[in-house]
Structure 1
Protein backbone atom coordinates (compact mmCIF):
# COMPACT_ATOMS: atom_id res chain seq x y z
CA UNK A 1 0.00 0.00 0.00
CA UNK A 2 2.75 2.49 0.97
CA UNK A 3 6.15 2.67 -0.70
CA UNK A 4 9.06 1.17 1.21
CA UNK A 5 11.10 3.82 3.10
CA UNK A 6 14.67 4.52 1.98
CA UNK A 7 17.41 2.40 3.59
CA UNK A 8 18.73 5.47 5.42
CA UNK A 9 15.59 5.39 7.60
CA UNK A 10 16.45 1.96 9.00
CA UNK A 11 18.90 1.56 11.89
CA UNK A 12 22.44 0.48 11.12
CA UNK A 13 24.58 -1.78 13.32
CA UNK A 14 25.38 0.07 16.52
CA UNK A 15 22.54 2.62 16.28
CA UNK A 16 20.65 3.24 19.53
CA UNK A 17 17.02 2.28 18.90
CA UNK A 18 15.78 3.29 22.38
CA UNK A 19 12.54 5.28 22.18
CA UNK A 20 12.90 8.81 23.50
CA UNK A 21 10.43 11.67 23.85
CA UNK A 22 11.11 15.02 22.17
CA UNK A 23 11.36 17.84 24.72
CA UNK A 24 9.62 20.23 22.33
CA UNK A 25 6.65 18.32 20.86
CA UNK A 26 6.40 15.18 23.02
CA UNK A 27 6.67 12.87 19.99
CA UNK A 28 8.44 9.52 20.53
CA UNK A 29 11.25 8.56 18.19
CA UNK A 30 14.23 6.19 18.20
CA UNK A 31 17.40 7.86 19.45
CA UNK A 32 19.29 7.42 16.18
CA UNK A 33 16.62 9.46 14.35
CA UNK A 34 17.00 12.61 16.48
CA UNK A 35 19.44 14.71 18.52
CA UNK A 36 20.41 13.68 22.06
CA UNK A 37 22.28 15.98 24.45
CA UNK A 38 23.68 15.38 27.95
CA UNK A 39 23.01 11.63 27.77
CA UNK A 40 22.52 9.93 31.15
CA UNK A 41 22.61 13.25 32.98
CA UNK A 42 19.90 15.01 34.95
CA UNK A 43 19.49 17.57 32.14
CA UNK A 44 19.26 15.02 29.28
CA UNK A 45 17.48 16.50 26.25
CA UNK A 46 16.22 14.83 23.06
CA UNK A 47 14.78 16.52 19.97
CA UNK A 48 13.24 14.87 16.91
CA UNK A 49 14.56 17.46 14.43
CA UNK A 50 16.70 20.60 14.03
CA UNK A 51 13.71 22.93 14.12
CA UNK A 52 12.51 21.66 17.50
CA UNK A 53 16.05 21.92 18.89
CA UNK A 54 16.39 25.53 17.69
CA UNK A 55 13.02 26.60 19.14
CA UNK A 56 13.73 24.96 22.50
CA UNK A 57 17.31 26.32 22.65
CA UNK A 58 16.06 29.86 21.93
CA UNK A 59 13.44 29.57 24.69
CA UNK A 60 15.94 28.11 27.20
CA UNK A 61 19.31 29.85 26.66
CA UNK A 62 20.45 28.87 30.17
CA UNK A 63 20.75 25.24 29.01
CA UNK A 64 23.48 26.19 26.51
CA UNK A 65 22.20 23.94 23.70
CA UNK A 66 23.42 24.51 20.13
CA UNK A 67 21.06 26.54 17.93
CA UNK A 68 22.30 25.12 14.60
CA UNK A 69 23.88 21.70 14.28
CA UNK A 70 25.06 19.53 11.42
CA UNK A 71 24.84 15.76 11.55
Structure 2
Protein backbone atom coordinates (compact mmCIF):
# COMPACT_ATOMS: atom_id res chain seq x y z
CA UNK A 1 0.00 0.00 0.00
CA UNK A 2 1.31 3.45 -0.87
CA UNK A 3 1.05 6.55 1.26
CA UNK A 4 -1.63 9.05 0.24
CA UNK A 5 -0.40 12.24 -1.40
CA UNK A 6 0.21 15.16 0.97
CA UNK A 7 -2.59 17.66 1.42
CA UNK A 8 -2.45 20.75 -0.74
CA UNK A 9 -1.32 23.77 1.24
CA UNK A 10 -1.22 27.46 0.43
CA UNK A 11 2.35 28.55 -0.33
CA UNK A 12 3.93 31.19 1.89
CA UNK A 13 3.93 34.80 0.60
CA UNK A 14 7.54 34.75 -0.80
CA UNK A 15 6.80 31.56 -2.74
CA UNK A 16 3.48 32.97 -4.04
CA UNK A 17 5.32 36.09 -5.27
CA UNK A 18 7.84 33.90 -7.14
CA UNK A 19 5.04 31.85 -8.68
CA UNK A 20 3.11 34.97 -9.71
CA UNK A 21 6.23 36.36 -11.39
CA UNK A 22 6.70 33.05 -13.23
CA UNK A 23 3.14 33.29 -14.60
CA UNK A 24 4.31 35.92 -17.09
CA UNK A 25 6.71 33.29 -18.47
CA UNK A 26 3.85 30.84 -18.99
CA UNK A 27 4.58 28.77 -15.88
CA UNK A 28 1.53 27.71 -13.86
CA UNK A 29 1.29 29.09 -10.33
CA UNK A 30 -0.82 26.34 -8.75
CA UNK A 31 -3.84 28.69 -8.54
CA UNK A 32 -6.59 28.89 -11.15
CA UNK A 33 -9.45 31.28 -11.84
CA UNK A 34 -13.14 30.33 -11.99
CA UNK A 35 -12.68 29.24 -15.61
CA UNK A 36 -9.74 26.90 -14.94
CA UNK A 37 -7.06 29.22 -16.33
CA UNK A 38 -3.76 29.72 -14.47
CA UNK A 39 -4.02 32.86 -12.35
CA UNK A 40 -1.88 34.81 -9.89
CA UNK A 41 -2.26 34.06 -6.19
CA UNK A 42 -4.45 36.69 -4.47
CA UNK A 43 -2.64 38.86 -1.90
CA UNK A 44 -5.33 38.14 0.70
CA UNK A 45 -5.40 34.33 0.30
CA UNK A 46 -4.32 33.97 3.95
CA UNK A 47 -7.63 35.50 5.07
CA UNK A 48 -9.88 33.33 2.87
CA UNK A 49 -12.36 31.13 4.72
CA UNK A 50 -13.97 27.91 3.47
CA UNK A 51 -17.37 28.33 1.86
CA UNK A 52 -19.87 26.46 4.01
CA UNK A 53 -22.98 27.24 2.00
CA UNK A 54 -25.05 24.63 0.24
CA UNK A 55 -23.45 23.06 -2.85
CA UNK A 56 -24.03 25.03 -6.03
CA UNK A 57 -26.10 23.18 -8.60
CA UNK A 58 -25.75 23.77 -12.31
CA UNK A 59 -28.63 23.68 -14.78
CA UNK A 60 -29.04 20.32 -16.47
CA UNK A 61 -26.73 19.84 -19.43
CA UNK A 62 -24.20 22.50 -18.42
CA UNK A 63 -20.63 22.13 -17.20
CA UNK A 64 -19.38 23.85 -14.03
CA UNK A 65 -16.63 25.68 -15.95
TM over 0.5: no
Q: Please identify the structure whose Cα radius of gyration is greater.
A: 2
Compute the TM-score of the two structures, normalised by the length of structure 1.
Answer: 0.29
Compute the TM-score of the two structures, normalised by the length of structure 2.
Answer: 0.31
